[in-house]
Amino acid sequence: MVFPRSKARALSLWITGLTICSVFLSLAAWIPQAPKASADPLGSAITVVLDTFTPVVPARGETLRISGRLVNTSSEVIEGVSVRLGVSASPLTKRSAITSMSALELNPDPEPIDYFLNRTRVDVTESMAPGEEKTFALSEPFVSLPLGKDGVYPLMVEVLGKQKGVDLSSQRQGGLRTFIPWMSSGTDKISLVWLWPLMSAPATQANGVLLNENTPRALMPDGRLDSLLTLGTANPAKVSWIIDPALLQSAQEIASGYQVRSGDTVNVGDLSQGAQDWLVRVSDVLTASRAQDDSDRVPARVVSYANIDASALQRAEMNVDLVRATTMAPVMAGAILGSPVTGTVYWAPDGRLSKRTSDVLASSGMRTVILSSRALPPTNPDVESFGMGVLGTTFGGMNAVLIDSGLSDTLAIKQDSRSQGILMRQRFLSETAIMSQLLPENAQSNYVVAAPRDVYWNPSPDALGDLLGATGTAPWLARATLSELLKQGATSTIRERGGYGEKAKASELSEDYLNQVKQASIQLAALTDVLDNPTGFTDAYAEAILRTESEAWRQDPETGAELLASIRTGLRQEINKVYALSEGTITLSAENGLVPVTIANDLDRSVTVGVQLRGYPGARLVSEPMYGITIDPGKKVSVELEVDIVGGQTLPAGVQLLTPGGETFGSPARIELVSTAYARAAAWVIAAAFIAIVIFVVVGITRRIHKATQSNSLSQEKANKKGGSENV
């Protein structure tokens, strides 16, 4: 095919251009690209670390000051490194935007930050080698920032630079996004209720020996529980104390001296002073708060003893334990603190509760449960879930204190560094600022509940201290207590019960584990039944079994299993101190008779037991149990049991102790029973048979002799007759 000259030239130029583009594209493929640093969640080459971010609550006339460090986390040299500020042109209108923006990648499309202010740009260094760190500082008067009406504005510290030999111009090499709550003093306030849990995994055996020193260390200065107490003491009007009585009990025992297990050995602990000081401080802060309120009760609420897993217990039909843990909690806490506590609450694990579990809790007298706001959401999705609702049960409604799930998620943000703590603080303040703007004019309640997702939380004391201080100065926040919230009561907001599905059930203590707990309870019931005075003896085991049902073992099943095994072993050892001494072979002279049994009691108190002989197989032995056998401590008692034996062979049997109620107690002692009556009967049978045989033989022989005699006589007679005939 032949083209005209003009068309041929155009085609030639087009092919040439295409070839050149292809060459450039091929070369571009060989140009090294900026690697993404795996250490940075934004995927940047340079990581931004904040050291300061002030003021915490901004106001007109003040200056925003941000300082920190830049770390080159890439494998390339970055040149011409500088930083600048970026701000959004308009405030956020939804809380969900805070969550989504916090998770944005380094270069989203579109970029949520509208304005990058070149006038704020600060040169940091001409060159940064891989792994190198440089400091930076930014400042800008708030009046110079594009902040208009009240609201929460996204903010970014952007890092600019170029990779040596790669970028022709300065490009974004890193960045960090956060938020500025820009609120006037006349804004509507929300009343913030801080729930302040003081709880610890109850890893204490029935004999008081600790499985580990986690709790003693947490009570020491700068330990987890000490830090929480210090922060709460510094802000007594802001926090509402929620305490596990098992922790108070453990602290009291540790303070008086304790032992801790290490493998197969038990050592004396040396952290008692920290526990003693901590317990005194708890009592002091609660007493001081009570005096201010002019109340006869300390301003603290307690959870069920050992913070037990109510949902798991209800599923396993262990409601008795649930009721006992609930009713004993305020009594124990009041005795340790020296004054009654304000009340009892149930803090649901994961913030959710099944309908059946709530029924059991209500039947035990529980009137307040702490749930996640997701567990009881409003039917209208446009309504904010503030404060408190009513959880319907078969036994009436319970107060449902609703922890704001968004704030719990924010408190769960890592706080391992100062920078992470600042980001957590800014996000928390920004969320509450938006919540205050979402309050309707005729709102029935302005209460918002803040609390951690994990009651065994371990926050950064510095980060949490900064946040508590900020919540006290923010113009959109007012401090409030749980008592004030409960006094106000629930609103008329229509709510629906959230689901309690398979995922929630799977997180509970396992069925197999609770079956073993049931076996421990059966062991304890048997021991309690035989003791004439179990007071002060079995109580320690009863409390220890409740500790095995703690919600803490959801997160640490190994320690829970170790605690349960130690309790069952201890119970078995105590039960085995009451035992039958009988052993060996016992021979009876008749088919029935008396079998002697000796029972020993090595316990330090008297017991009353029963005893029964059991044959193997049982059809060969008939014996009625004997009850009411009392044995003093350290003594032995012998009794005789009537038995009937069937058969002449040796009969294996067990001497089984019984509780007064007829239940099996301990393991049976093994004996063998033999009756000589069957041997004598056999001898008489043999003798009789022998005599019969002799008689039979004698009779036979006599008959044979008699027949022979008769035969001879006849023969003789015949012979005589024959002879006489011949003579004639």
We report the CATH number of the domain holding residue 584 as: 2.60.40.1710
Partnered with residue 161 across adjacent β-strands are: 171
User: Does one domain contain both 231 and 251?
Assistant: yes
Interval 156-190: pLDDT, tens: 999 999 988 787 788 999 999 999 999 988 788 99
The CATH number of the domain where 270 resides is what?
3.20.110.10
What is the rounded distance in angstroms from the CA atom of residue 423 to the CA atom of residue 140? 19
User: Does one domain contain both 344 and 474?
Assistant: yes
User: Does one domain contain both 523 and 644?
Assistant: no
655 and 638 Cβ atoms separated by less than 8 Å: no
The CATH number of the domain where 171 resides is what?
2.60.40.10
What is the rounded distance in angstroms from the CA atom of residue 594 to the CA atom of residue 17? 117
User: Does one domain contain both 439 and 529?
Assistant: no
pLDDT at 649 over 80: yes
Instruction: Work out the average pLDDT over 578-585.
Output: 92
What is the rounded distance in angstroms from the CA atom of residue 139 to the CA atom of residue 154? 17
User: Does one domain contain both 55 and 124?
Assistant: yes
For β-strands 607-615 and 651-658, DSSP reports them as antiparallel
- Residue 308 within a domain: yes
599 and 577 Cβ atoms separated by less than 8 Å: no
- Residue 622 within a domain: yes
For residue 188, the model assigns a pLDDT of 85
What is the rounded distance in angstroms from the CA atom of residue 236 to the CA atom of residue 323? 31
For residue 380, the model assigns a pLDDT of 77
- Residue 428 within a domain: yes
DSSP H or E stretch at residue 718: helix 677-727
Backbone angles phi, psi at 438, to 5 degrees: -85, -5
Residue 553 DSSP label: G
User: Does one domain contain both 70 and 216?
Assistant: no
Higher pLDDT, 712 or 444: 444
- Residues constituting the chain: 728
pLDDT at 693 over 80: no
- Joined tokens for residue 660: 């007064």
Of 472, 506, 540, which closes a domain?
A: 506
Of 522, 556, 575, which closes a domain?
A: 575
Q: pLDDT grade, residue 691 (50/70/90)?
A: low
For β-strands 651-658 and 346-347, DSSP reports them as unpaired
- Residue 425 within a domain: yes
- Residue 71 within a domain: yes
Lowest mean pLDDT, pick from 135-144, 174-183, 287-296, 406-415: 287-296
Of 455, 475, 506, which closes a domain?
A: 506
End-to-end, the C-alpha distance of the chain in Å comes to 174
Q: What is the largest CA-CA distance in the chain?
A: 185
User: Does one domain contain both 118 and 250?
Assistant: no
Domain extent for 617: 579-675
User: Does one domain contain both 106 and 163?
Assistant: yes
User: Does one domain contain both 612 and 568?
Assistant: no
What is the rounded distance in angstroms from the CA atom of residue 585 to the CA atom of residue 238? 76
CA distances from 269 to 205, 222, 438, 460 (A): 15, 18, 53, 27
87 and 154 Cβ atoms separated by less than 8 Å: yes
Q: According to the 3-state scheme, what is the secondary structure of 398-440?
A: EEEEEECHHHHHHHCCCCCCHHHHHHHHHHHHHHHHHHHHHCC
Higher pLDDT, 530 or 99: 530
Interval 329-384: pLDDT, tens: 999 999 999 999 999 999 999 999 999 999 999 998 899 999 999 998 888 776 66
User: Does one domain contain both 564 and 596?
Assistant: no
Q: pLDDT grade, residue 700 (50/70/90)?
A: low
605 and 617 Cβ atoms separated by less than 8 Å: no
Lowest mean pLDDT, pick from 19-23, 45-49, 405-409, 558-562: 19-23
- Residue 658 within a domain: yes
361 and 337 Cβ atoms separated by less than 8 Å: no
- Residue 408 within a domain: yes
For residue 36, the model assigns a pLDDT of 32
- Residue 699 within a domain: no
Domain count, the chain: 4
Kindly report the number of other CB atoms within 10 A of residue 216's CB atom: 25
User: Does one domain contain both 214 and 164?
Assistant: no
Q: According to the 3-state scheme, what is the secondary structure of 660-703?
A: CCCCEEEEEEEEEEEECHHHHHHHHHHHHHHHHHHHHHHHHHHH
User: Does one domain contain both 302 and 394?
Assistant: yes
Q: According to the 3-state scheme, what is the secondary structure of 129-144?
A: CCCCEEEEEEEEEHHH
Is the overall model pTM greater than 0.85, yes or no?
A: no
